[in-house]
Structure 1
Amino acid sequence: MQFIAFLETRKIDKFTVITRQIIVDFLELESNQQKATSSIVRSVTSLRKFFQYLVEEGIIQNDPMELIDAPKKSEHLPEVLSTSEVEKLLNSPDTSKPLGIRNRAILELMYATGLRVSEVINIQLADLHLSLGLIQTIGKGQKERIVPIGDKAISWVEKYLNNIRPRLLKKQQSNFLFLNHHGRKLTRQGIWKNLKADVLRAGIEKNVTPHTLRHSFATHILENGADLRIVQELLGHSDISTTQIYTHLSKRRLAEIYGKYHPRA
């Protein structure tokens, strides 16, 4: 509809006279209106399908979209916390309260393992091998992987397991590790809501989501010398190109450090 409105301003009322240049002018207009690259990509996709339809219906002979390339989507690097911000976040739950201990255990576990929030809520007691420092999880595509977990996270998970979980469970039964105050499986929304409160308490102004801890986990171990293939394995990525975004994050961090501390930067 936007394209047709544009054609009307050019007094063009036949699809047969539309050329590649007319489409380029339309896309340039969208760009000048400061539309997001993703919006322009959608316009190109819509027009491509539309003109294919016109050719198939015999309304036009030649497809003017054949020589039009979609702009590359700009790469949005995920938000990452610094190590000091992670420390503040991990210390933010009120561990004098039962749910504070549970929330601390969740945050410690997420940062220690890089698990997705969907993987965290689905951890069952049988998946824990804390004496070995390992957790089993089922990721995307039903792929099982075994992830190491550090001593600090183990300590908080055990504290929750031994002291808090039985109180939440009451007389009910559940195989899931993390429970809400009704003794039922904790939801994604529950973790999200608790995290937002902890971020506020920690005084962190970044837009922090459960996935931010996963991004921070990957970036920090890469910055400390981990191999990209190991990070791929830990995160459960089927394609290493997905993991490579974290090398960009590490380089960005290096540039920030350089800019901050080099006297001639």
Structure 2
Amino acid sequence: MTENYRSLLATCRAELRLLGYAKGTAKLCGAGEMLRWLEERGLLDLAEVGKDDMAAYLAYLTTRPSATGGALSLYTVTGYLFSCKLLFDYAERHGLRGGSPLLGLELPTPPASTRKAVSRAVINKLYQAAAEDVRTTVLLHLLYGCGLRRMEVVDLNVGDVDHQNGLLYVRSGKGKKRRVIPLAARVAAGLKNYQKRERWRWVSGANSGALLLNDRGGRMLGNVISRRLAAVVKRAKVKEIITPHVLRHSVATHLITKGMDLERVRDFLGHDHLETTQIYTHVNAGDT
């Protein structure tokens, strides 16, 4: 990437972090891909980019394969375009003339968000399929057993698990909120086994104390987490589409159907408002 585009991305990311955008949003992954795509076509300055160029980029996004094969989902495409919008808005605030080339472009709209959950039977199949893979089992404990968001899993460090008191600390969740999650016995035992007996296999001198480590000893990042989950879903031979957030929705639904108070579920998930948690009272997870 040219120095001009690298500098633009870096300064925009810094401003978004100062404004309080979520870490994943402030990374501007979609905008970074767009800049590389523009470079390949000889467009080395945002001032040269017009509406036709962005229409061509949108067409590219809707046809390029995803990391797991197949086309990008509509949610991913709209997420990439939102990232591009943030970059163009930043550039306009800092002197880009002519405005954003996204203005007036007909952009795709994803369907209304719905809360999807899977049954306990499906969750059990996932655990069975992960039985010989300790890191994937830990991943299920964190995404389902603790109801964590994917980025919260990425950010976890070894010191965030309090084995003595059976607690897990989310130091900086969505909106930079902190929360404390009580660990169920199965989850606590699984995390303790991983930390005491298994984690050393992937520790390297470069590791930063991250709880979940990749094969090279570094922090396991979001794309790796999604790939590992997709792999265990495939091994489990379940027909449902299961993402990290589906597991979060599932544990919330299961806790509510078991009779846990909405206020406690809200605190468990880290929601700001009880109304957000109440959505799960209407989720159908089949045989929960």
Query: TM above 0.5, one fold?
Result: yes
- Which residue is equivalent to 1:125? 158
| Uncovered stretches (5+) of structure 2, i.e. residues with no partner | 1-109
Aligned residue in 2 for 1:85: 122
Does residue 213 in structure 1 map to residue 247 in structure 2?
A: yes
Q: Which amino acid aligns with 1:77?
A: T
Aligned equivalents of 1:88, 1:229: Cα separation in 2: 30
Give 1:111's match in structure 2, choosing from 144, 147, 172.
144
Tell me if structure 2 keeps the 8 A contact 1:91–1:104: no
SS at match of 1:146: strand
1:79–1:207 Cα contact (<8 Å) kept: no
Query: What is the RMSD of the two structures over their aligned residues, measured on CA atoms?
Result: 1.8
Partner residue in 1 for 2:45: none
Q: TM-score, normalised by structure 2?
A: 0.58
Percentage identity across aligned positions? 33
Q: Give 5+ residue unaligned stretches, structure 1.
A: 1-72, 258-265
Deviation string for 1:31-50 (max 9, x for gaps)? xxxxxxxxxxxxxxxxxxxx
Matching residue's letter, 2:155: N
Q: Is residue 2:267 matched to residue 1:233? A: yes
Q: SS of the residue aligned with 1:244?
A: helix
Give the drift of 1:241: 1.6
Instruction: Show the counterpart of 1:146.
Output: 180
| SS, match of residue 91 in structure 1 | helix
CA distance in 1, matches of 2:138, 2:191: 5
User: Distance in 2 between the 1:144 and 1:167 partners?
Assistant: 30
Q: What does 1:195-210 align with in structure 2 at a 5 Å threshold?
A: 195-210=229-244
Deviations 1:199-221 (A, max 9, x none): 01111111110111100110000
The structure that has the greater radius of gyration is 1
Mapped contact 1:90–1:108 kept (Cα < 8 A): no
Is 2:205 aligned against 1:168? no
Supply the AA of the counterpart residue of 2:255.
I
Listed as ranges, the matches of 1:1-265 within 5 Å are 76-95=113-132, 100-137=133-170, 138-249=172-283, 252=284
Query: How far has the Cα of 1:175 moved from its partner?
Result: 1.5
- Per-residue CA deviation, residues 18-37 of structure 1 (Å, 9 max, x unaligned), is xxxxxxxxxxxxxxxxxxxx
Name the TM-score, length of structure 1 as normaliser.
0.63
Q: CA deviation at 1:74?
A: 7.5
Structure 1 residues 207, 231: CA separation in 2 closer, same or farther (over 3 Å shift)? Answer: same
Distance 2:178 2:131 in 1: 33
State the alpha-carbon separation in 2 of the partners of residues 184 and 170 from structure 1. Answer: 8
What CA distance in whole angstroms lies between the structure 2 residues aligned with 1:74 and 1:197? Answer: 26
Q: Does the CA contact (< 8 Å) of 2:136 and 2:228 recur in 1?
A: yes
- The alignment partner of 1:147 has SS state of strand
CA contact (8 A) 1:77 1:245 kept: no
